[in-house]
Chains A and B, each alone.
Chain A
């Protein structure tokens, strides 16, 4: 089997790790990229999935290789200002960790390891990709002067150039990010998610620096107001801030997989960075595609793969609304509008109703049936429910709440 992965951002690297490890013997896995195109370089926090795949593909482990990626351990997400008391959302599984990393260093690290570990199974091809096409019996990647044929192509080229084939998630609360880098090591073992007047802010600790990303909605808050709030939070003045700026849409593809070409990474979907959930999608996308080629009964047509991934995307979208709909400690226009929109979104959503029913059905008098539902284990859903102070699912027996 000859497989291409186009693009070398986080999703590209994760797809390569998965394929190098799991593709059948004799397969070739080719990374195609244009060295002059910079990666987006904003997602530097992960779920458990990311170090797991990185280990499978590159042998990466935190104590030995952490320094090369500036990495720190992530044991939880710390929610501040969402409720009166701060709380932790622990990484699952509880004996596992996620990580923070410098994604500008990722490609070089991974490629050195790919060559060392996988030898001729791994190939790289540089050039400008003009087009990717499904030609029935094979898929073609058209470079400026050549055509390369593959059995499968995974398209991780980042943001789509036009959104006609995408569903735009209009009601997602934030669409703008201002990143403030602090050149001091981050020493805490979690990603901070701090609610602000105008949205929320992530805080990522790396070994050599900290990245703080202020997320807001530019239809509700002006850039000036956002910058002024950042200055206040960091106890500085506006003129002393150097901010990188990202405006983004929230969206997902109408079709992820056509039998030969799989969209992954930002080419497949983009949601805001709460809980770093995209890496969860990236892994599931490659796995589903793979199950299709292995002939798994649940994934044996491209339609089934698409249906599955559309459900995953819908679940992620619902999860964000679930978090937001209870608001934060701030009673500001952003939070008033967002609370109302997110509540409405959940109320009318069929998939969400199914999720709630499924989680509730796992809460029995004898105990909790702990299994994955809509991206999280049911025990984790109960944990959210308690920490956010919601009462959406069936009320569990008090013994199910492991801790006060």
Chain B
């Protein structure tokens, strides 16, 4: 079997790790195809435990011995500031850890390891990808005018050039990010999620620097207002910023014929809780089940749609209770999020997830899978609900 992974951002690397470990028996190859002149987006630097696991499977990564190569720090959870009167921490599923890492260093680290561990099973093709053709028996990839054939493609080329075949969430929470880098090591072991007057700000500690990302909605807040708040938060006039504008969306079809979309090619939501890594991992697992004949393409797409919806719903769940700020952003977003959780499409999935969580709480012996309880375990849902002052599981809180 020949599989190619397009792109070398975080999702591309995770896809390569997973494929080399699980989808590459003797005689098979996994090829990374990428254009060295295309920079990675390089904004997601926080992860869930599955990232640590996948990295370990593909590269032998171990936090204790390899963290330095990625400027990595351990992540035990997220610290929520200004979301409620009392700040609170949300630990990851105990006892597991994620990490913060410098994703500009990820590709080099992993490629060195891939070559060392997997030898000829790992191959690379560099160049500009101009076309992808989905055939019945194979996929053709055109790179620098040369045609390559593969059995399957995992497409992690980042933002889609057009969103015709995607569901775009025009009305989502935030759509703009201003990133400020502080050239000092971050010494804390959680991702900071700090609510602000116009949205929220992440704080990511790396062993060599800190990344702070101010997220807002440019339909509700002007850039000047956002920059002003950021300057006042950091006490720095004329603050140095990188800017990212993004849409929130997910693919209408994740797996089509022989091409699986992953990473930002599959979906993009805002970065709260680094939930995207959940999806990347889920998508690779279901894809593996598909290749092993355990599910068909329709079921694979159905599962992935549910996963995307679960992440979307979780974001609404967080926002619907607002924050300590009584501002335009929070008033609009609170109301919008609560409405989304009641609408027909998201609402029915949300209600099913709630039922499954309650069932799992009543019958722990059933060991209901996290894919049915919206990714978090029932214990963590109780904790979210309690910390956010909700009453979903009041009898258990």
Question: CB-defined interface of A82-120 with B at 8 Å, one 1/0 digit per residue?
Answer: 000000101001111111000000000000000000000
Does A144 count as interface, using CB distance less than 8 angstroms?
no
Please judge, given known A-B contacts A190-B64, A402-B117, whether A55 and B383 are in contact too, CB under 8 Å.
no
Binds B, one of A59-67, A230-238, A265-273, A344-352: A59-67
| CB <8 Å contact, A63 and B379 | no
| CB <8 Å contact, B52 and A51 | no
Does A152 count as interface, using CB distance less than 8 angstroms?
no
| CB <8 Å contact, A403 and B60 | yes
Which residues from 340 to 397 on chain B have a C-beta closer than 8 Å to any C-beta of chain A? 362, 364-365, 379, 383
Chain B residues with CB under 8 A of A51: 94-95
Please judge, given known A-B contacts A73-B74, A95-B52, whether A62 and B94 are in contact too, CB under 8 Å.
yes
| CB <8 Å contact, B91 and A61 | yes
How far is B97's CA from A404's CA once the two chains are assembled, in angstroms?
24
Interface Cβ pair total, 8 Å cutoff: 87
A101 CB to nearest chain B CB (Å): 12
Q: Which of A22, A75, A76, A98 contacts B365 (CB 8 A)?
A: A22
Question: CB-defined interface of B62-103 with A at 8 Å, one 1/0 digit per residue?
Answer: 111100000000101100000000000101101111100000
Does B271 count as interface, using CB distance less than 8 angstroms?
no
Please judge, given known A-B contacts A64-B89, A95-B56, whether A365 and B26 are in contact too, CB under 8 Å.
yes
- A24, A25, A64: residue with the most chain B Cβ atoms closer than 10 Å: A64
How far is B49's CA from A52's CA once the two chains are assembled, in angstroms?
15
Interface of chain A: mostly helix, strand, loop or mixed: mixed
A298 CB to nearest chain B CB (Å): 16
B85 CB to nearest chain A CB (Å): 18
| CB <8 Å contact, A94 and B52 | yes
Does B118 count as interface, using CB distance less than 8 angstroms?
yes
Count of chain B residues with a beta carbon within 8 Å of a chain A beta carbon: 34
Does A175 count as interface, using CB distance less than 8 angstroms?
no
| CB <8 Å contact, B118 and A96 | no
Chain B residues with CB under 8 A of A240: none
| CB <8 Å contact, B95 and A48 | yes
Q: Which of A52, A76, A97 contacts B97 (CB 8 A)?
A: A97
| CB <8 Å contact, A52 and B56 | no
| CB <8 Å contact, B53 and A52 | no
| CB <8 Å contact, B53 and A95 | yes
Please judge, given known A-B contacts A63-B76, A399-B119, A403-B60, whether A96 and B383 are in contact too, CB under 8 Å.
no
Question: CB-defined interface of B39-68 with A at 8 Å, one 1/0 digit per residue?
Answer: 000000000011011001000101111000
Does A35 count as interface, using CB distance less than 8 angstroms?
no
Count of chain A residues with a beta carbon within 8 Å of a chain B beta carbon: 38
Does A125 count as interface, using CB distance less than 8 angstroms?
no
How far is B91's CA from A97's CA once the two chains are assembled, in angstroms?
13
| CB <8 Å contact, A94 and B62 | yes
| CB <8 Å contact, B53 and A93 | yes
Does B194 count as interface, using CB distance less than 8 angstroms?
no
| CB <8 Å contact, B77 and A96 | no
Question: CB-defined interface of B250-284 with A at 8 Å, one 1/0 digit per residue?
Answer: 00000000000000000000000000000000000
How far is B98's CA from A97's CA once the two chains are assembled, in angstroms?
11
Q: Which of A88, A94, A367, A402 contacts B53 (CB 8 A)?
A: A94
Chain B residues with CB under 8 A of A59: 379, 383
| CB <8 Å contact, A96 and B97 | yes
| CB <8 Å contact, B365 and A399 | no
A265 CB to nearest chain B CB (Å): 21
Q: Which of A21, A54, A76, A366 contacts B25 (CB 8 A)?
A: A366
